Structure 1
Amino acid sequence: MRRLPVLAALFTLLLAGCTTSSDSKSPAERWQPRPGTDWQWQLSGRLDTSVDVPVYDIDGFDHDEETVDGLHEDGRQVICYLSTGAWEEFRPDAKEFPASVLGRGNGWEGERWLDIRRVDVLEPLMAERLDMCRDKGFDAVEPDNMDGYRNRTGFPLTARDQLRYNRLIAKLAHDRGLAVGLKNDLDQIPELVGDFDFAVNEQCAQYKECGALTPFIEADKAVFHVEYELPTSRFCPESRRLGLSSMLKKYELGVWREAC
């Protein structure tokens, strides 16, 4: 009986299991928000934890492990907001980004688009940021500015460059046990819906684009959606029909919200 090859194969599998990262979670183990899940998105001002919703989306740099733990104790899941496609001069790691990867301003003071083709530079920097989200106990990450190829970044970015980079960010998040949301980037949803656990969208109703988000709903994945300029009467009926988790916010993304 030729047992040695079998035993060797079993030993190899055992060794591989021992060396797998303890942070990695299977898709079934990661948090998976479902369509219609209510949420709060607050990126400015003193955090108000009294909003009675099951999901909070807050700035990953501005809040510590104690804050995340407190939200968990109140029964909330917590999303870590990060900018992964743009440089922000006010972040503690800003000086680690070489000038060669900094492009045009993205419309927000102190922010510039990143050259997402330079994964040799950006991957370790983004990995450190995602380590921070994991170490603080966040359940998921919202990576922002993930559609640079559709903007004047100062770099000749292509749709292929964007797909490659967005999938890299999703993998880095998943490797750390974090769920990850696709921010805007509507045109690439068909290619990316399988790589992301939920979507975050701004102003799809104002620009008549909400139908493009249905692949996430059909995959039983939440779409967290905000409008800034339309009254709720203009978008909530359609949001409810589509299964979006929608609310009205002010541009500064403070405490105030008016949910559908």
Structure 2
Amino acid sequence: MAVAAGAVLAVLGVAVAQAGGTGGTDEPERSPAAQQPRELRLPPAGAGFDYQIGGGYELPEGVEVISRDREDDPAPDAYNICYVNAFQVQPGEQDDWDADLILRDGNGDPVIDGGWDEPLLDISTADKRARVAEKVGDWFDGCAADGFDAVEPDNYDSFLRSAGLTTQEHALELMKLLAGRAHAAGLAIAQKNTLELAPHREEIGLDFAVVEECGQWEECGDFTEWFGDRVYVIEYEAAGMAWACDNFGDTLGIVQRDEYAVPADHPDHFRAVCPRP
């Protein structure tokens, strides 16, 4: 959805802390993150979660982990995940990309994710993947400089909407580059959705999962098989929320949001959490 690790860690020499929290109050200025190594922290397992990628607002009671757009500010006193659209182009930003990095069909027209009106990125060659990773990696560096703790690269599953022009292997190869870049910046990195690629999490270097509607599709347990209790769930429908809460409400961070995850002062805002005894 778009709105608005082990081997890799060993190679990069990044320390992993098992508890959440921010890295301090004095954040570095934007510059290549590899020159400013910092401790990599994983989000606290099973913690209260909120999804604010449509606009930040004050943390609700009980929230320890939060996802916000890369152009938003991180929240104080929380584990902050930086949302980045890494495999598709935000509406209105196509001109920010080299023309040959936009995936095109046989007629030369951009391949569009119709649900969100987003052109897909062309990740079909090693050269193009490297160039995409460099641009997205610069965004990761910005997330680190701003004080985020992790990144959430969205649309890992864009190959499913590519009319066969990109593949699972292309997605895995790009995500491997992105995981290395995130860890070099001292950031944990999430797998977003894309259950079919979860078995590759260790070889790619993914640290946790952010999952939409695993309750709706009764798949939350499949994600916990690979990521344990570090699965952070967003539901949009009451039925999916009920299933997720009934089966994983005591172990996972689960929130129900409105479709665009808009701020609390927006008339379409909706947020609910699992009932607690």
TM-score range, shorter chain: 0.7 to 0.9
TM-score by length of 2: 0.73
Equivalent of 2:237 in 221, 229, 254: 229
Equivalent of 2:80 in 78, 81, 93: 78
| Residue number in structure 2 paired with 1:178 | 187
The Cα shift of 1:43 comes to 2.0
Cα pair 1:85 1:144 within 8 Å, conserved: yes
The Cα shift of 1:22 comes to 4.1
Quick check: which one's helix share is greater? 1
Equivalent of 2:198 in 181, 189, 196: 189
AA of the residue aligned to 2:119 = R
| Residue number in structure 1 paired with 2:114 | 107
Change (3 A) 1:226 1:259: same
| Residue number in structure 2 paired with 1:145 | 155
**Matches of 1:155 and 1:98, distance apart in 2:** 22
AA of the residue aligned to 1:105 = I
**Matches of 1:245 and 1:161, distance apart in 2:** 30
The Cα shift of 1:178 comes to 0.7
Between 1:116-125 and 1:166-175, the stretch displaced more is 116-125
**Matches of 2:237 and 2:156, distance apart in 1:** 22
Between 1:51-60 and 1:208-217, the stretch displaced more is 208-217
Structure exhibiting the larger radius of gyration computed from Cα positions: 1
**Paired residues for 1:1-260 under 5 Å:** 21-25=34-38, 29-45=39-55, 47-52=56-61, 53-61=63-71, 63=72, 67-68=73-74, 71-72=75-76, 75-91=77-93, 94-103=94-103, 104-117=111-124, 118-149=128-159, 151-154=160-163, 156-193=165-202, 195-218=205-228, 222-231=230-239, 232-240=241-249, 243-254=251-262, 255=264, 256-260=270-274
TM-score by length of 1: 0.78
The Cα shift of 1:154 comes to 4.6
Q: Secondary structure at the match of 1:55?
A: strand
| Residue number in structure 2 paired with 1:6 | none
Q: Secondary structure at the match of 1:147?
A: helix
AA of the residue aligned to 2:148 = F
**Matches of 1:134 and 1:184, distance apart in 2:** 23
Cα pair 1:30 1:178 within 8 Å, conserved: yes
Change (3 A) 1:203 1:50: closer
Q: Secondary structure at the match of 1:138?
A: coil
**Matches of 2:223 and 2:116, distance apart in 1:** 29
AA of the residue aligned to 1:115 = D
Between 1:168-177 and 1:122-131, the stretch displaced more is 122-131
AA of the residue aligned to 1:44 = G
Cα pair 2:199 2:226 within 8 Å, conserved: no
Cα pair 1:114 1:153 within 8 Å, conserved: no
Change (3 A) 1:40 1:48: same
Q: Secondary structure at the match of 1:199?
A: strand
**Matches of 2:254 and 2:166, distance apart in 1:** 31
Cα pair 2:41 2:149 within 8 Å, conserved: yes
Change (3 A) 1:39 1:83: same
AA of the residue aligned to 1:96 = D
CA-to-partner distance for each residue in 1:66-86, whole Å, 9 max, x for gaps? x43xx22xx212111110010
The Cα shift of 1:257 comes to 1.5
CA-to-partner distance for each residue in 1:1-57, whole Å, 9 max, x for gaps? xxxxxxxxxxxxxxxxxxx944334xxx31112331111111224x21141211221
**Matches of 2:242 and 2:207, distance apart in 1:** 29
Give aligned-pair identity as a percent.
28
